[in-house]
Amino acid sequence: MATNRFVGYLESRKNITGSACGLLGLALTFTGVAGPYWPVVVLGLYGAGALIAPPERPTLPDFPDPSAQLDEIRADFTILQDYLSGVDLPPGTATRLRALTDVLDALLAPGWVAEILAQDPEGVHQVSRAVRQDIPEAVDAFVRTRWWHRMTPGQDPPEHHLERQLTLLNEEAHHLTTTLRETESSRQESHTRYLEDRQQ
């Protein structure tokens, strides 16, 4: 550990700047300017150089870029689809779920749409939350509640809640696609204005 710190200091800006100033002190010594006090001059210039050197900047955390995040969500979406294919849902509910997964599939498909999504951190978070939390939790709660409903009939059917949840998730997904579309439209309009301004 101490060796690593020593090597790190040798490579630091403080040591490099201090050494450069110390070499200046040696040059003054050889020209006779420093006189008999040359060790003090060399050490003083080294210390001054080390003090004025810019501080070391810590290395930034290596977070995955948005494209890498989408790759992970894409892999989880494949797992989710495998899970959903084994769940028996009422026809109407299955249609709502398919509509939702079709939108998510279109957003996550590699290409320019996914590139636009990757530039929207909130959108990436929303898709991630839908894939990893909202959809599996809604479907799993339905499966578990359906069993209890069969044991104690007469209560509100669990598919009503699932249908409502899927409707809300569909609305969120369509709101996201609208937001992304408006972002692209705004970019197109900005480019038009830029070209128009160039003609003036």
pLDDT at residue 188 greater than cutoff 80: yes
Which has more confidence, 180 or 2?
180
Query: Mean pLDDT in the chain?
Result: 82
| For range 77-92, the mean pLDDT | 93
| For range 70-80, the mean pLDDT | 94
> In the chain, pLDDT over 70 holds for what percent of residues?
74
* CA–CA dist 1, 11 (Å, integer): 15
Q: Per the confidence metrics, is the pTM higher than 0.75?
A: no
Condensed to tens digits (0 to 9), the pLDDT of residues 8-20 reads 665 677 767 767 7
Condensed to tens digits (0 to 9), the pLDDT of residues 129-165 reads 999 999 999 999 998 888 776 666 667 777 889 999 9
Count H helices and E strands in the chain, helices first.
Answer: 9, 0
Question: In 160-192, which positions are buried (b, 16+ CB within 10 angstroms) versus exposed (e)?
Answer: eebbebbeebeebbeebbeebeeeeeeeeeeee
Q: Are 50 and 17 in contact (CB under 8 A)?
A: yes
Nearest to 50 by CA among 28, 29, 21: 21
